[in-house]
Amino acid sequence: MATPKGGYTPSLEKFLDGLKSRAVESSVELLISLLKRREIKGSEACATVTAHILLQVVARDKWDNVDQLLGRIQLIGRKLVAAQPHELVVGNIVRRVLGLIRDEASEDRNDTTTDSPRPASPPPPAAAAAAAPGHANSPAKPVRPSILPLLGSLARTQSMFNLLSDPNVFPSMASNASTPGQVSGASTPILNPQVTNVTSLRSEVIDGIQEIMDEIRMVDEQVQTYAEIFIHPGDYILVYQPSKTVQKFLTRAAAKRKFTVFLVVDPSSAANSDGQYASLQKSMASNGSSVITVLNAGLMAYMSRVDKVILGARVITAQGGVIVDSGAATIARAARERRRSVIVLGGVYKLSPENRLISESQVEWGDPSKYVNFADGSMVSNVKVKNAVCEFLSAEYIDTYITNLGAHAQDNLHTIIGDHYKEEDIDFDLYGRAQR
């Protein structure tokens, strides 16, 4: 396995910068290692790096047909998911690329069927020229109707005579007999559709993956356009450890109206919250809105004043449940008791088509040292302390989902999944044992 040079652990940016200089298999193994060690983590980072590595597989690996490419993507997808099963967005991107390949391959087959000449008809001059050795690798193009029938009979006869007598237009059988895939036994030039289709399919799939990467990059800008619809002047908005998406959502709303934000943070990270959310506090204050920092132990005292709760999603499941930062589920349950709206923000790439039950199995456990001092020997020896990094929030506590495609109710999530994933890829078991 490739090891990082210089004795440092590569970040996401450094990993992406070195993709083109490493072999594809080395990049895959390095990414697996980084995911296992959580050197690359977070929904956006994992989705981005998965799209980049699959792009390299499509562009640089050798494959001769669609089945080989699908098998290669499935194998690498299983390895990446096995490396970090808590990051469901990895499986989401793998499934979307599989669906993209199926779509493009289907279009290519339809184009080939439509554009291929009938075997019983003699080839027009343009098709014969395309079949010459110098054009063997050129994509087959639809042949426009000939203008010769519009000419007089004498001109048509002379033109056809000149074409048939020109050796540069129709090379002799002897010169082409040894060229594979060019001339059949009936002297009819035949293109090699498989080579043409692979080249075309590779280009189309690369373009499609780049569109997925653009979508991931533009999610925050697209989600924040709905801020003015859901945040009204004078609102009291409660957020919990807001993600970058939530912060941009609040900043966009503050540019047009004044409201108050209750920023709830975990007591263990309260010392770092000022620097972590400094840009949010500055932008809110510059527009006349205020930010009040609240420790989560005392948030119940503020819940009666809250109008809406806005949470950032790590993953949105097909049933409407959401993977959120640990502690957010308690806030959502409190909001439901007070009949306050709970809004979840997340890009479509976070919407997982997983049909398996996702609940406690997706809870990620972190370092408990920030809650327990390891100098306390009796506590460490006799008490098992678990620190949840994330938790599952059931759909019953969520009112609205806002993605880069707009606002949705729970019932609409299946429609979005159907638009972005193929049925065969939804049923594909990414959690099966990856072959090494």
CA 152 to chain CA centroid, Å, is 59
Banded model confidence at residue 360, pLDDT cuts 50, 70, 90: low
DSSP 123-152: PPHHHHHHTSGGGTTSPP-PPPPPSGGGS-
What was the pLDDT predicted at 409?
94
Q: Which amino acid appears at position 65 of this protein?
A: N
Same domain, 309 and 228: yes
What was the pLDDT predicted at 273?
61
Give percent of the chain with pLDDT exceeding 70. 72
Question: Residue 75 phi/psi, 5° resolution?
Answer: -65, -50
| 273 domain-assigned | yes
What was the pLDDT predicted at 274?
64
Same domain, 106 and 223: no
The two structure tokens encoding residue 357: 């039950």
Q: Using an 8 Å Cβ cutoff, are 395 and 319 in contact?
A: yes
Number of domains composing the chain: 2
Residue 26's domain spans which residues? 5-114+198-218
Same domain, 203 and 256: no
Q: Which residue has the tokens 């959120």?
A: 324
Banded model confidence at residue 420, pLDDT cuts 50, 70, 90: very high
Same domain, 98 and 235: no
Same domain, 210 and 244: no
Banded model confidence at residue 208, pLDDT cuts 50, 70, 90: very high
54-105 pLDDT, tens digit each: 999 999 999 999 999 999 999 999 999 999 998 999 999 999 999 999 999 8
Q: Using an 8 Å Cβ cutoff, are 70 and 101 in contact?
A: yes
| 344 domain-assigned | yes
Task: Give me the chain's average pLDDT, please.
Answer: 80
CA 64 to chain CA centroid, Å, is 25
140-157 pLDDT, tens digit each: 444 444 444 443 444 444
Same domain, 285 and 235: yes
Last residue in a domain, options 160, 189, 218? 218
Question: Mean of the pLDDT values across residues 31-44?
Answer: 94
CA-to-CA distance for 27 and 59, rounded, in angstroms? 14
Would you put residue 241 in left (φ > 0), alpha (ψ -120 to 50) or beta? left
| 166 domain-assigned | no
244-298 pLDDT, tens digit each: 999 999 999 999 999 999 999 887 666 666 678 889 999 999 999 999 999 877 7
Question: Mean of the pLDDT values across residues 188-204?
Answer: 65
Banded model confidence at residue 110, pLDDT cuts 50, 70, 90: low
The two structure tokens encoding residue 190: 């035949």
